[in-house]
Amino acid sequence: MTTTAITDAQAFRTAMARLGAAVNLVTSDGEGGWAGFAATAVCSVTDTPPTLLVCIQRSSSAYASVLRNGVLCVNTLGPRHRHLATLFGGKTPAAQREAASAWQRLATGAPVLPQARAAFDCEIAQSIPVGSHDVLLCRVKAITTGEPNEGGLLYMDRAFRDLQVFEAALKNTDP
């Protein structure tokens, strides 16, 4: 076992890479313009009222647009969306990200990926600065769900992982 001082940012990022997480596209549109980014720092906060937590880096190209728009959609990805996760996780211009799908709209007007495993259409209720990021508390205004049998897309050890592959491996393993 290796122990490292927690003041070492690289050691923290290395340890966090071992924590698997669902991959989401966070999209927004409005007065601030179209924006989107890939995110794993997303989780539920409460079901009454339905609220999600989304973290966004303040140096992100999407940051100003998302906050000005005041709305966003968390689109949870499946394995067939790996190309979108890569596109939204890099330095690709917003116009190219927008052109990558035939987006739909729900209650807030934020772009919704039609094939998402689940999409949470939200208004940003609060933004809390923490270090290099803002923690956004987002009230869910509408939800769509896709195919329940499609596995999820995870990010772990700095690579995309197909949840269906993990499940198949478990089924084929003798106890």
Polymer length of the chain = 175
Q: Considering only CA atoms, which of 39, 70, 36 is closest in space to residue 55? A: 39
Model confidence pLDDT, tens digit, residues 10-22: 877 777 666 667 8
pTM: 0.85
The per-residue pLDDT for 170 is 46
Distance CA 74, CA 96 (A): 19
Domain ranges within the chain, ordered by starting residue: 23-151
Q: Which residue has the higher pLDDT, 63 or 172?
A: 63
Distance CA 144, CA 20 (A): 24
pLDDT band at 153 (very low <50, low <70, confident <90, very high): confident
Residue in the structure block whose two tokens are 């313009």:
33
The per-residue pLDDT for 1 is 63
Q: Is the pLDDT of residue 138 over 70?
A: yes
* % of the chain residues with pLDDT over 90: 67
Model confidence pLDDT, tens digit, residues 33-91: 999 999 999 999 999 999 999 999 999 999 999 999 999 999 999 998 999 999 999 88
| Annotation: CATH topology of 23-151 | Pnp Oxidase; Chain A (2.30.110)
Question: In this structure, are residues 75 and 25 in contact, taking their beta carbons and an 8 Å threshold?
Answer: yes
Reading the block at residue 132, the tokens are 């290099």
Could you say which DSSP state residue 81 is in? G
